[in-house]
Amino acid sequence: MNAVTTAPGAIKAEPVFRRWAEVIAGALTQGKPGKTLDFKLLKSSHTAVSYRAETGTERGFVKLFDPFSRAAREAYARERDALLMLRESGLVPRHIGHSDDDCMVLVDYVEPAEDPLAGESRADCVKLARRCGAWLAEYEAIAPSRRQSGNWFDYLVAHDRYSQLLSLAQMQPWLQEIPLCGSILSRCDGSLSNFLFAADGSIAGCDFEQARFKPRGYDFAVTYLAFASRWPLHHEVALEAMADGFSSRHRGVLDPQELMAVARALFILEADTARGRI
């Protein structure tokens, strides 16, 4: 194994990788005698570091969480559990292995296509939104689920972040008419970088560090917020494209028009929160 690059102040990955180098290489090559195992740093945060592991032509994605941080260990557990539950779905990178002692997960590496977030035009936004909407519908169909009843107003008003906002009170009449249709394991992170666009045209969802059970449609709404942030001039057409993509793959009880209404409500609430309105 070659030396491992570490970001300044990041988790010290090299000792962990030296312990696991033979196992990781064996997993990637299916036990065949391999070449030198290399690790390339891809991303670093306060809770985890991510690397591409490579031996010969085989690649894997390794995410290592800080084992000395309670928050990072909890994030690791959520990521591990989600990947295990979804390993046969085809919608997330395939789980290969993990280590609870070292808070490490190993999954398939998704060969990236050209960065779809690089486009600036309305057409770029619409195309990407439709694809993300379709993935969200497919995920809704297979995600672990629980029963949850009620309506979206009661759900949002119970949220400390929004409970005192006048705008939420003004939306009460119609949000009360939109029912909760159960909850599913949601990523709770709408960042568009958490969609992996593969060279073969497929999409994989990643980053389940914040995964929790939320009402069906919650991830649709927070993903829309990410589109509104990335393409502020095109956020409404992005929402329509997301709903169109969602409708093309959805076979459940969710009403795309109601999803759009909840997404717009969350957009207003987040904007008011950012402005400090009450």
**CA of residue 68 relative to chain centroid, distance:** 24
* Domain carrying residue 74: 14-108
Instruction: Identify whether 5 is part of a domain.
Output: no
Given a cut of 80, whether residue 128 has pLDDT beyond it is yes
Count up the domains in the chain and report the number: 2
Token duo for residue 13? 């990955």
Among candidate residues 75, 108, 141, the one where a domain is terminated: 108
Nearest residue to 45 (alpha-carbon basis) of 167, 146, 193:
193
Within-domain flag for 248: yes
CA separation, residue 231 to residues 118, 125, 209, 234, 247 (Å):
11, 7, 25, 5, 22
Tell me the pLDDT tens digit for each residue of 240-254: 999 999 999 998 888
Domain-embedded: residue 200: yes
Co-location of 128 and 98 in the same domain:
no
- CATH code for position 22: 3.30.200.20
Residues 124 and 248 in one domain: yes
Q: What is the pTM of this model?
A: 0.90
101 and 121 assigned to the same domain: no
Does 64 share its domain with 160?
no
Question: Are residues 263 and 222 part of one domain?
Answer: yes
Q: How many helices (H) and strands (E) does the chain have?
A: 8, 10
3 is a domain residue: no
Residues 91 and 171 in one domain: no
Reported as a single tens digit per residue, the pLDDT across 16-54 is 988 998 899 999 988 676 668 899 999 888 889 999 999
The answer, yes or no, to whether residue 132 has pLDDT greater than 90, is: yes
Is the same domain home to 130 and 259?
yes
**Do 97 and 181 sit in the same domain of this protein?**
no
**Does 176 reside within a domain?**
yes
pLDDT tens digits for range 154-185: 999 998 889 889 999 999 999 999 999 999 99
Q: What is the pLDDT of residue 266?
A: 96
Distance separating alpha carbons of residues 167 and 147, to the nearest angstrom: 28
Q: Among 108, 133, 150, give the residue marking a domain's end.
A: 108
In this structure, the answer to whether residues 91 and 156 fall within a common structural domain is no
151 within some domain: yes
Examine residue 196 and state whether it is found in any structural domain, yes or no: yes
Judged against a pLDDT cut of 80, whether residue 101 lies above it is answered with yes
Are 66 and 200 part of one and the same domain? no
Cβ neighbours around 68 below 10 Å, total = 9
Of 108, 132, 157, the residue at which a domain comes to its end is 108
Q: Is residue 8 part of a domain?
A: no
Which CATH number do you get for residue 141? 3.90.1200
In the numeric block, the tokens 């119609």 are attached to: 174
Which long-range CB contacts under 8 A does 231-235 form with residues at least 24 apart? 231/122, 231/125, 233/122, 234/122, 234/125, 234/126, 235/267
Q: What percent of the chain has pLDDT over 70?
A: 94
Determine the average pLDDT of the residues in 80-93: 94
Q: Which of 69-78, 100-109, 125-134, 245-254 is predicted least confidently? A: 245-254
Kindly indicate the confidence band of residue 14, based on its pLDDT and cuts at 50, 70 and 90.
confident
% of the chain beyond a pLDDT of 90 = 72
Q: Is the pLDDT of residue 134 over 70?
A: yes
Q: Are residues 59 and 135 in the same domain?
A: no
| 92-96, 143-147, 200-204, range with the lowest pLDDT | 200-204
pLDDT for 8? 62
Please check the confidence at residue 3 and state whether its pLDDT lies above 60: no
pLDDT score of 169: 95
